[in-house]
Structure 1
Amino acid sequence: MTGRPEPPVLPPVLRAPLALIAALATLTVVVLGVLYAGHSQSGRVDRWVVQPTADSVRPPWRRVALATDFLGEPAGSAILIVVAVTVCLSLRRPRAAVLVVAGVGVTVVTGTLLKSLVGRTIHGADNLSYPSGHTAFFTALALAVALLATGGLGLTRAAGTSLVLGAALVAGAAMGWSQVALSAHYPTDVLGGWCTALVVVPATAWLIDRVADVGRRERR
């Protein structure tokens, strides 16, 4: 093969900072999970952020919240994933396309498992809430896209870390706001979902790179 090898989806300059961030995020997910395991009401931190109500926002902001929430629903998330994968393939970055699908998928599965394990509920025993799956999904997708941009632009460690964290923060804040505003999640559920993505996506990217590099060496 004479073609240039595809760059890693986890740029080497970001491995150390994202590993540290993932470690802190893991600690946050675990601590919040232990604190709110089996709970069915907002905690002190949640009430400090916002007093829970059944109607936290009114038109036109409620429509904005509903539109944002739709992006985390099956139909909306499928559209976003298809668009992101199409962009990755058009840029000839199949590894990045794999990260979009695998990173988002593993994040959602991890969040679902954590919900069953923690057992925190909202609006009834059937509505498991911790961590927020919508927030985890949206943050994971933003992370995958930001990692693609960082590698493609060849950014430095500082610039790349700022871009990746900035994208994660904007995505997590937007989706998290909609979930709290619609009274679908507690604020700490949102934080847990955000941190879940910060743990899973970099780890998935690293694993994809390892598998791809091993496969390339074996084909030589």
Structure 2
Amino acid sequence: MTGRQGPAVLPSALRGWLGPIAVLAALVVLVLGAAYADDSEPGAADARIWAAVDGVGPPWRHVALATDFLGEPVGAVLLVGALVTGCLVLRHPRAAVFLVTGTGLSVGTTTLLKPVAGRTIHGDNLSYPSGHTAFLTAVALMVTLLAAGRLGLGRAVGTAFVLAAGLVAGAAMGWAQVTLGSHYATDTLGGWCTALAVLPVSAWLVDRTADRLADRATAGRPADEPADRRAGAGRPERR
């Protein structure tokens, strides 16, 4: 018997599929990074997508700016803070730790990869992979992972649910970044795949750490008294 406190943030039913997906996503990040390393020009696909969304006006530009704000420091803190508060209100501290850890590792990974890839846009601005896209994708993946666990979704349905939410969030932020000229389309694909690669690992680390801490706390407690001793407690001693 373990001392686990609260449900796991990575449902056991989803582990079998999310692991290989994370490995595949990491490979995509590496391949795209190598293909566009030290580049400062859009690829053929980037150019076509950029031409299709360039010059968008109101109200869609306002939508793009609002979406972009969610990935900015202030917007990101407000969004994560609201979600963490909700987890604490629901008495799920492990989920709160997961939200902070998952977003931090996702954005931190893109920050570390940018100087390695060396791809730039608008001068010397490092662009690959997109941190904004990684952030919003990570948030969507984490929220749906927690929901899938609470709802008890099976492997196929749960995985489809999580990936669909991540795809929608990543596509929305990716569109905003390309529309605003902040990233190439392949930068946003790299950010999306970064979140897919990092989140299952983050969830596993949070669960493993929380379970170990709970087990240590349980092991440090004194063992319960035998039942016959508890039953006799308070009775006067017979002579």
TM-score range, shorter chain: over 0.9
How far has the Cα of 1:208 moved from its partner?
Answer: 0.7
Alignment of 1:88-103 (within 5 A): 88-103=87-102
Report if aligned partners of 2:36, 2:117 keep a CA contact under 8 Å in 1. Answer: yes
Aligned match of 2:145? 147
Aligned match of 2:55? 56
What 5-or-longer segments of structure 2 have no aligned partner?
A: 219-239
How far has the Cα of 1:16 moved from its partner?
Answer: 1.1
Q: Which has the larger radius of gyration?
A: 2
Distance 1:105 1:58 in 2: 33
Report if aligned partners of 2:114, 2:128 keep a CA contact under 8 Å in 1. Answer: yes
Measured against aligned partners, the alpha-carbon deviations of 1:104-145 in whole angstroms (never above 9, x if no partner) come to 0011110001011101000011x1000011000000111111
Distance 2:153 2:90 in 1: 17
How many pairs are equivalent? 216
What 5-or-longer segments of structure 1 have no aligned partner?
A: none
Q: Secondary structure at the match of 1:6?
A: coil
Q: Which amino acid aligns with 1:6?
A: G
Structure 1 residue ranges, 4+ long, deviating more than 4 angstroms after superposition: none
How far has the Cα of 1:49 moved from its partner?
Answer: 3.0
Q: Please state if 1:191 is matched with 2:194.
A: no
How far has the Cα of 1:7 moved from its partner?
Answer: 1.0
Q: Please state if 1:83 is matched with 2:82.
A: yes
Report if aligned partners of 1:56, 1:183 keep a CA contact under 8 Å in 2. Answer: no
Q: Please state if 1:71 is matched with 2:70.
A: yes
Aligned match of 1:114? 113
* Identical pairs, percent: 61
| TM-score, with structure 2 as normaliser | 0.87
Distance 1:50 1:107 in 2: 25
| TM-score, with structure 1 as normaliser | 0.94
Aligned match of 2:228? none
Q: Which amino acid aligns with 1:13?
A: A
Aligned match of 1:36? 36
Q: Which amino acid aligns with 2:175?
A: W
User: What's the Cα RMSD here?
Assistant: 1.5
How far has the Cα of 1:4 moved from its partner?
Answer: 7.8
